[in-house]
Amino acid sequence: MTQSAKSLDRETVADRLLKGSIKRSYAPVVDIDWAAPLDEGKYFLPPQVLSLYGTPMWESMTEPQRIELSRQEAANILSVGIWFENILNQSLLRTLLHTDPSSLHTRYILTEMGDECRHMTMFGRAIEQMGAMPYKLRGYQAVGVNVLPKLFRGTMLWVAALIGEEIFDATQRRTLDDPQLQPMIKRLMQIHVTEEARHIRFAREGVRRRVAESHPIERLWVGSVNGVGGLLFRRLFTNPVMYRRAGLDSREARRQAWANPHFREVQRSGFASLAAFLDENGMLRLPSRVMWRRGGFL
């Protein structure tokens, strides 16, 4: 098997990540103080990353209304996170049917799946603790969630994993030290960022390896369609139900969010490092570039 100089051997990568997992993993059941009461007056996401921050609607809101919006936006993002991790775990489980069960690569995939199971548990419990309700999949979303695990394979699997993980991760890293943040959410983000760093390394190595090994047509295809992620995220992050639950006019709220330069900046900086990586590996072809730009990420 030929490998490019840049891509590492699969077993070497898995070995490092397994060692890292032994050193730093969390059990949110005990690593978050679930008995601690919420800190009244603190935000569930820092105000400056909220979709409406700085808009006319935002300016007209009281502090408690702004905090309520942050509660709903956080519950929405955590719900989307649970859907994504569900899809990713389904895809990973399917790949295991074809890999060597005694390899380090397989062992690391199972370890990552275990991390995601704990994350989904943590996100669900956090939604309850926040006093919010989870967001449910609507018609077309349910179709997508049932089809995507079958589509995510080969190069597509690793690119999709990065899209699902890196954008959230970059934003969490920038915001988890915000003093306005609820302590429970801060802890959740710390745990998530630490474990996701390994997942991101694993997926990036996956992309590099596939770029070295896969057929040019596969690379062209994946590089051209991944921008759908940008269009999808733009809709998911401005879920009208979320605005309605925060007591706002959902149509007007979404309109203002889509036109909001502050929010665009949050999206752009969340995507910047991933965009550079995709581009470096020939995974940001023109159609994708157009879609990511339309989604507000470029």
Indicate whether 118 belongs to the interface with Fe ion (CB under 5 A). Answer: no
Tokens coding 121: 């548990």
Nearer to Fe ion, 119 or 208 (CB): 119
Where does this chain touch Fe ion (CB under 5 A) — which range of 7-15, 127-135, 196-204, 272-280? 196-204
Nearer to Fe ion, 57 or 78 (CB): 78
Cα–Cα distance for residue pair 17/104, rounded to 1 Å? 10
Nearer to Fe ion, 104 or 120 (CB): 120
Where does this chain touch Fe ion (CB under 5 A) — which range of 143-151, 199-207, 216-224, 233-241? 199-207
Cβ-based neighbours of 20, under 8 Å, separated by 6 or more: 198
CB of 199 to Fe ion, least distance (A): 4
Nearer to Fe ion, 263 or 271 (CB): 271
What number of other Cβ atoms are within 10 A of residue 240's Cβ? 14
Where does this chain touch Fe ion (CB under 5 A) — which range of 96-104, 117-125, 181-189, 290-298? 117-125
Return the residues of window 156-195 that contact Fe ion according to CB under 5 A. Answer: 165
Torsion of CA 279, 285, 291, 295, to 10 degrees: 0
Tokens coding 41: 């007056």
- Give the total residue count for the chain: 298
Q: Which of 10, 71, 119, 262 binds Fe ion (CB under 5 A)?
A: 119
Cα–Cα distance for residue pair 229/160, rounded to 1 Å? 8
Nearer to Fe ion, 199 or 254 (CB): 199
Where does this chain touch Fe ion (CB under 5 A) — which range of 67-75, 101-109, 112-120, 228-236? 112-120
Cβ-based neighbours of 247, under 8 Å, separated by 6 or more: 65, 68
Distance of CA 193 to the CA centre of its chain: 11
Return the residues of window 25-84 that contact Fe ion according to CB under 5 A. Answer: none
Nearer to Fe ion, 191 or 222 (CB): 191
Q: Which of 199, 245, 254, 285 binds Fe ion (CB under 5 A)?
A: 199
Tokens coding 117: 């199971």
> Three-state SS for 45?
coil
What number of other Cβ atoms are within 10 A of residue 53's Cβ? 21
Q: How many residues bind Fe ion (CB under 5 A)?
A: 4
**Site for Fe ion, rule CB under 5 A:** 119, 165, 196, 199
